[in-house]
Amino acid sequence: MTKQELAEKLAEIYTNSGTIVTASLGVFTFTYGEYAVDKFTPTELIEAAHTINPEVKTRYSAELNAAFAMYRYFKSHPNLFALGRAALTSGKKIKGLSHQLITYGAPGTGKSHGIEEVVKTYADTVRTTFHPDSDYATFVGCYKPTMERVKKTYVLEGKEADVKDDGGNPVFEDRIVYSYVPQAFTKAYVRAWRKMIPGADEKVAPQFLVIEEINRGNCAQIFGDLFQLLDRDGAGYSKYAIEADSDLSKHVAKELAGISSGIPSEICSGKILKLPPNLYIWATMNTSDQSLFPMDSAFKRRWEWEYIPIKDAGKDWKIVADGEEFKWWDFIKVINKYILDTLKNEDKQLGYFFARPDDDSSDKIVASKFVNKVLFYLYNDVFKDYDLPKGFAKQGGGKFSFGDFFLADGKPNEPAVKELLTGLLKPEA
């Protein structure tokens, strides 16, 4: 498509969007990105569209540029790209994607960010994080003591009566009661079924359940019998239903009371559990922690997997030490080669976002953050059981210890940091 044709499409989508300008730019980009992104600048296109229709405000070139950046990111991740395009351009039920997806990679590769770029389109996303103490109750729900404000009563002649103040009004008090408290899975499950519209699947809104750090918990223990639900049929429903325990059954029945009769009665009553096709369970996994709780093969095969590689995010971030700047990406490339050569695997390598500037408007990673986050990780998690790579050698002989990077008052020893980075990145200096 020519620039003129693209400008006409942009003007049409923009002016038909009403007040939702940013969304219209996303729709345009995901619809015509293959013709526009990397071929024309956002400023060129939005100015051309402004010429066609002055209602297109040229000040939104920054938003269009952001849409272009999102398109490039999604394009490099097929699952995310397909989902983003479906979400922004059709508004219909998402088809052709796995209902269970795990994105995995080294720490700092942007796994959570990539998922967030998709799910933030939807206001109703349930998010949780697994950890070693996570279990079925913390994922699904259980009875817990909660505080409830109730009328204060007393018993008179075998009958209960309200305590009243001098004005004849009931007196209330906070009292501990036991009630069923739903957790992430149950919240997402109920919300997904509420969105189902019988006979109009193309209008069903997606519901996401996002699990961060899925491998930091014991998945077999956390999912329990829900594991059976992860097998989906061609329409996206669970192939095999399971019977809910009485507590969960009562809660689901209460939450789905009054739902359309088009939904199976055994679902609405909470008698059985079955995942609907609009419920998407997406998770992240840090490969450096993959041995914390190993996943069995039966669990793994019920998920689609997407590797997020380590790559230059194009931020041009720099490490600043003792008045000198060193390119962050150059450091990542060098240190990751050392990690691979030493450990013989990529699990402990650093992603681009492992460390970042303190201020979003800055491109500088200060020495204190570099020492306390990056070098601490390298010394205590990566090379703790290995000899330090040759790049950690001091100019006067020997290798840097972690303590060498601190002064007596605990502040970073910037000259030492500078010497290390110079040796790693500028060996000829």
Q: pLDDT digit string (tens) for 234-250?
A: 888 899 999 999 999 99
Side-by-side strand order, sheet with 279-286: 125-129, 207-212, 279-286, 100-105, 304-307
Chain centroid to Cα 301, Å, comes to: 21
Tokens of 15: 């002016």
The structural domains of the chain, with segments of one domain joined by +, span 3-75, 125-139+183-307, 144-182, 318-425
- Name the pTM for this structure: 0.69
- The tens digit of pLDDT for each residue in 10-68 reads 887 776 554 456 667 777 887 788 888 888 998 889 899 888 888 888 887 888 888 88
In this prediction, residue 291 carries a pLDDT of 54
**What does the DSSP assignment read for 281-317?**
EEEEEEGGGTTSSPPPHHHHTTSEEEE------S---
Ranking 240-249, 283-292, 400-409 by mean pLDDT, the lowest is 283-292
- The tens digit of pLDDT for each residue in 74-88 reads 777 665 665 555 554
Report the distance separating Cα 130 and Cα 227, nearest Å.
16
- The tens digit of pLDDT for each residue in 206-240 reads 889 999 999 999 999 999 999 999 999 888 889 99
Pairing state between β 153-156 and 159-162: antiparallel
- The tens digit of pLDDT for each residue in 273-285 reads 999 988 999 999 9
Residue among 50, 51, 45 nearest 67 (CA): 45
Tokens of 356: 């970042």
In this prediction, residue 89 carries a pLDDT of 45
Percent of the chain having pLDDT more than 90? 44
| Residues forming a β-bridge with 178 | 145
CB of 47 within 8 A of CB of 64? no
| CB neighbour list of residue 177: distance below 8 Å, 6 or more residues apart | 145, 146, 147, 148, 150
In this prediction, residue 184 carries a pLDDT of 96
In this prediction, residue 273 carries a pLDDT of 95
Residue among 208, 222, 225, 213 nearest 130 (CA): 213
Determine whether 210 is exposed, middle or buried from the number of CB atoms within 10 Å of its CB (0-12, 13-18, 19+).
Answer: buried
Pairing state between β 279-286 and 100-105: parallel
Report the distance separating Cα 99 and Cα 89, nearest Å.
20
Ranking 35-49, 178-192, 200-214, 339-353 by mean pLDDT, the lowest is 200-214
Report the distance separating Cα 147 and Cα 271, nearest Å.
29
List C-alpha distances in Å: 303 to 104, 131, 138, 185, 275.
12, 20, 22, 17, 15
